[in-house]
Structure 1
Amino acid sequence: LGGALALMEHVWGAPTVGVAGEEKQRALFVERNLPGCVIVNGQGRRFVNEAAPYSEFVPAMYRDHARTGASVPAWMVFDARFRRNYPCGPIMPASMMPDARIPAAFRDVLVKADTIDALAARIGVDAAGLHDTLRDMARYAATGIDEAFGKGDNAFDTYYGDPRNQPNPCLGPIDEAPFYAVRIDAGDIGTKGGLVTDAHARVLRADGVPIDGLYAIGNTSASMMGASYPGAGSTLGPAMTFGFIAADHLAAPADGAGGRAR
């Protein structure tokens, strides 16, 4: 029918972890904000504020990967202190789920080693770069200021941080053995791409002319949010709104030109 498409290169992105035997990845929404973890590329370097909104995280992965070729996948690195106190993906804190009690299906999620060098070797990350990054994170944790990416300097970051951890709820040292890593893949919650529509939810051709009788709403249409993500409900809200608009327009009597009179 010739409907135009837009935003086909965009998704509602999220960092994810894979679990053996599960068809779909699991998103990491909260863990990244907590103190005592860092996310690095294959060079052992940070490339983003770990606590950034998930919709911003995946584009940052791809931008850094285009520059370094080392960010897809990335790795979340943490130590025994983080492991003891906080969850990561499907794995509960060690205070509730010690390593020996991790279910078999989840065991491949965690990579564990007694030293940073050994961990770097196991995950294929540059050890020198990782050591440099961890030294920086220790300094940031002591001062409460992430000089590189500003982790923990806004309300969004600290909402999911640990308020007991000061001076910054999102920053902590990574220095207590053993050490752990979790592979981070670029995932998506859904596509932003789809058919181009007008204010009545009618599908448009490339020349901007509506296709008579054809409407698109929700994730079948190109997102009205464009490349941005204002917050939760960014698909549901427009889907309900434009569903109503489309039905209302369909129910309207036709005008003399064959369109819908409003």
Structure 2
Amino acid sequence: MGAIEQASWLSLTSLDALSAAEPYASGDDAASMVPSDSGISQQKMKALDDTLSTLRGTRADASRFAASILAPENSAPANSNAPSASDEGSPQALAQQDANTNTSQGSAKWMSSVIAVHDRLALHALSGSASVRELMVAGAQSLAAKLLGGVTITPTERVTVVSETASMPVTISNSHPYPVRVRISSLTDSMEIVTTRFSDVDVPAHGSTQTTFTIRVSTSGSATAHLTLLDRAGGQFSAPQSTPIISTLQISDMSGFVFIAIAIALGLLGLWRQFHRKKDPDE
């Protein structure tokens, strides 16, 4: 920089001098010097628009993962009990707070690095080479897909229900190096066989968590529970998984006993009235 400042052909002046300098061209002369078009063909313009649209979507997926799927910092797990006020000063509570702080700081740094990698891929995707553009766009798409696809559902193969209520276990796995917090949605295709609607879970890093949905049935039959993963904003980010539910509701349930008892009582009442009915003298 010092050598450049001392160059004889370089003159350093103030902004005021620049403002007072005579322009090279102005008005219509300056407008006529501006190119009327970008010089980019329609085919290249369309390719650029498609590239920008794809990169905008992958960047949104990465930001969505950071904001609504990655476990928030300094928060108690959704599927465990937080320390009570009386335990806040205990060694266990302090150790848990330190672990949460270190995890949150690490996850924020990791996510910043992931987004930086995506942005670097996006920058190279805007090069003039079609092959480089395709390669970089594919890399950005793969990165976003791995972020969202790193959290998966492992449903139960089949659930057989022999009473009015039953449990349906669902396992959620996380392949990322930091915990995530998600919501599982369960919806059946039957009005007689239903499950609880949602379950919020925290899944540890490189681990899995099992949650349970309650099944309620009112008749024998079959249904399918459709399970999906939702982020904390309620948006779906996984393909639906299906669990068949077979109901063989038995009469041995408490409700069945109640109906049988009522029927027997009515039958006995009818017999009693029949035997104790006063005969008409005219008969």
Q: TM-score range by the shorter chain?
A: under 0.3
| TM-score in terms of structure 2 length | 0.20
* Structure having greater relative contact order (Cα 8 Å, sep ≥ 6): 1
